Chain A
Amino acid sequence: MNRFVQAAIGLVVAMAPLMSSPARAEGEEVAIPAITAMSGSTAVLGQDAQKGIEIAVEHINADGGINGRPLKIQVYDTQGEPGVVRQVMERLTRMERAPIILGCEVSAGTSAAAQFAEQAGVPYLNSSAVSAELLERGYKWYFSDQITADSEAATVVDFVEHLMTQGEVVPALLYEDSPRGAGTIERVEALLKDRGIEIAASASYSRSDRNLLPPVKRVQTSGANVVIWAGYTEDVVAGLQAMQQLDFKPYIVGIGGGPGDVRIPQLVDKGFIEAVNLSTADYFNPDMERAQRFVKSYEERHGIVPSSYASMCYRGAYTLKAALEKTLEAGKELTPENLRGALIEVDIPGEQLISPFSRIKFDEHGRNIGAQNLIAQWKDGATKKVTVWPPEVAVEEPNPLN
């Protein structure tokens, strides 16, 4: 082999690391645990959350990881049961000495986890539960980058007031009676009363009800033309079918993962979804410009656009990244105390987020002061879910009142 060829090969070998992704993470892994319900009745949420985490970790590591070190997020199954949450938290904090825990749990499990984190003195970063009450407990180690039931209620009532500019609105409340549904509806009810808006009916049901004709009929007979509905996917599917049978077509403003679930058009008549202007107050919508990298990767891997559940822990992984980087940049060890200090200092601008938030910045209660909702609406024969509210992030106008 002549010297020229040898030199060329040597140059190519030397250049190889530069030609590959220059930022790809190397070195000692930063391993952080996340908890979610991978099995049990809320497994839909947990399985989507895990998918979101996987893509976040891929993106973070492709962009250079945590100050050059690869990030690993290990997901632990809690079955969505507070008892199991406590066991998992004990294992993570006392035996495995995790410096911080990412939480993708429903409100009941998050309550148990936050309580345990407080006793153990380990930061718990909630990206899922919307309970506002948890933020009012004065916890030192609990941080939530998620929206709260208060911000959901405010967005929904603002939207109802927008509809009132188009004609007479007779609102009714329909909700599943778990703390998630009932808690949010309670806040909506209080806000509507504060603003002098009269409620025609309020009907609750159990999530496991197989027959939703009675509660839906109760709402229909009240003469309501706008239904504010907090529910999970399965009861929203059953409720929409009941509405179709009753030929009841109100303007639906939903709350929670159910009405906005990307699988709804596969489960319910698309024409009816459009007829009721199915809308939902959410913390994510795949059409947002800032979410496109996540949406594209998710679609490539799973063949479907990501749900809000998938988005929440993708966002959480990035909040975690910011805290980890702040700690390492300050030359500190990744200890619970240092990470808590870093979380207090985190300030991520809205443009860098996949959520409609103005920023991620925690107040003294651990509440994200930049969290805000959007309203997304199914359009074009329920083929796409479009961000329609608030006007500053809306992609299209909301459908007018029927």
Chain B
Amino acid sequence: MSLELLLQAAVSGFLMGGIYALIALALALVFGVMGVLNFAHGDLLMIGMYGVVLVSAATGLSPFLAGIVMVPAMMAIGWVVFVLLIRPIVGSAPLVQAQLTIGLSFVIQSAALLWFGADLFNVPSELAASPIRLGAIVISLPLLIGFVVALVASGLLAWFLSATVWGYRVRATAEDPVMAQLCGVPVQRVQRWVFVCATGSLAIAAGCLMGFYHVTPVVGLQFSVLSLLIVVLGGLGDLRGAMVAALVLGVAEALTSAIFNSASAPAALYVLFGAALLLKPHGLLGRGAAV
């Protein structure tokens, strides 16, 4: 095992972690504000990824720009999903929420299969052929751009939450919805807009991913599981924790794959996850709800 290989894995894993962060932040925000753990989160991301493919094919835009173009469409989808499915189950038992969102996940997967078939789609880009080299370490340009875009989007989200009136309302709702309501915060409207904006942000994450990855009807499940891991690892409802957890998970995923070099690599990742939960039940930063 060479140092060069480990560094390569750590760098590309860190960049990947940045994109994971944007995906997981949306889930963490939804959970924090309305207490709903959305198992169809990855499938909503998958819709964004197909959208990016279609927009890029139709306009020739890079996947990153196509992702931004897709934001209003994803917000509209988020609105419909919230009004029809999520709002009725806010405050319901976790099992009801899980059943409904898992059902939604199956419906989205089947619809994608019917519509796009089982073929995989990607967005061919010349950027993939021009990596950045730092000595022996190679940095994929689409991955780097994806990381930067995701970082900027996450930064804007952090600014919005900490420096705007609506951000305060979101945080107040997450902290104590009853007290927020008593203080005049329109809790239901906040919840609706959080879900709509979180779904919209998945379009940007989809653009970041499609710079170097592909989409199939089953890809959503992978990202749902990944996002749940990150949200739990970061501490339920803790956005900063989710950000750190995403970066840690990206690096750990790449390092376990490089070090173990066998079918046991994913298991090693889950062992690490389990150990982190035992030692830090309130998340990596110790500020989330206990699991």
Q: Which residues of A contact B (CB under 8 A)?
A: 39-41, 43-44, 46-47, 177, 182, 202-206, 208-211, 213-215, 217-218, 221, 233-234, 237-238, 241-242, 244-247, 263, 266-269, 272
**Most chain B CB neighbours (cut-off 10 Å) among A39, A217, A237:** A217
> A234-B216, A241-B128 given as contacts; is B257 within 8 A of A206 (CB)?
yes
For the complex, give the distance between the alpha carbons of A237 and B9 in Å. 19
Q: Which of A214, A237, A266 contacts B12 (CB 8 A)?
A: A214
Per-residue CB contact flags for chain B residues 257-291 toward chain A (1 = under 8 Å, else 0) read 11001110110000000000000000000000000
| B124 engages A211 (CB within 8 Å) | no
Measured between alpha carbons, how far is A214 from B265 in the docked complex, in Å? 12
Do B258 and A204 touch across chains, with their CB atoms under 8 A apart?
no
Nearest-neighbour CB distance to chain A for B12, whole angstroms, equals 5
Taken together as a complex, chains A and B put the C-alpha atoms of A277 and B119 apart, in Å, by: 24
Once bound together, how far apart are the Cα atoms of A210 and B257, in whole Å?
A: 11
Using Cβ atoms and an 8 Å threshold, which residues of chain B touch A241?
128, 140, 212
Which B residue's beta carbon lies closest to that of A246?
B138
* A198 → B minimal CB distance (Å): 18
B263 & A210 in contact (Cβ 8 Å cutoff) = no
| Contact sample, A vs B, 23 pairs, CB 8 Å cutoff | A39-B110, A43-B118, A44-B120, A44-B216, A206-B263, A211-B253, A211-B254, A213-B9, A214-B5, A214-B9, A215-B261, A217-B5, A218-B5, A233-B120, A241-B128, A241-B140, A244-B128, A244-B129, A245-B131, A246-B138, A263-B119, A268-B124, A272-B129
In the bound complex, CA of A222 to CA of B12 (Å): 20
Complex Cα gap A209–B262 (Å): 12
A221 pairs with B4, CB closer than 8 A: yes
Q: Pick the contact of B119 from A44, A177, A202, A268 — CB < 8 Å?
A: A44
The verdict on A245 contacting B119 (CB below 8 Å), with A182-B263, A203-B261, A211-B257 known, is no
State which of A40, A206, A213 has its C-beta within 8 Å of the C-beta of B8: A213
Given contacts A43-B113, A245-B129, 20 further A-B contacts (CB under 8 A): A41-B216, A44-B119, A182-B263, A203-B261, A208-B222, A210-B213, A211-B16, A213-B8, A214-B9, A214-B254, A217-B4, A217-B9, A218-B261, A221-B2, A234-B214, A244-B128, A245-B128, A245-B138, A246-B131, A247-B138
The smallest C-beta distance from A272 to any residue of chain B, in angstroms, reads 7
B87 to chain A, nearest CB (A): 30
- Residues on B lying within 8 angstroms of A by beta carbon are 2, 4-5, 8-9, 12-13, 16, 109-110, 113, 117-120, 122, 124, 128-129, 131, 138, 140, 212-214, 216-218, 222, 253-254, 257-258, 261-263, 265-266
A41 CA / B157 CA spacing, docked (Å): 34
Least CB distance, B136 to chain A, in whole angstroms: 9
Known: A43-B118, A213-B9. A238 touches B262 (CB 8 A): no
Q: Which residues of A contact B113 (CB under 8 A)?
A: 39, 43
Q: Smallest distance from the beta carbon of B34 to chain A beta carbons, Å?
A: 29
Q: How far is the CB of B123 from chain A (nearest CB, A)?
A: 10
Give chain B residues whose Cβ lies under 8 Å from the Cβ of A177.
Answer: 262-263
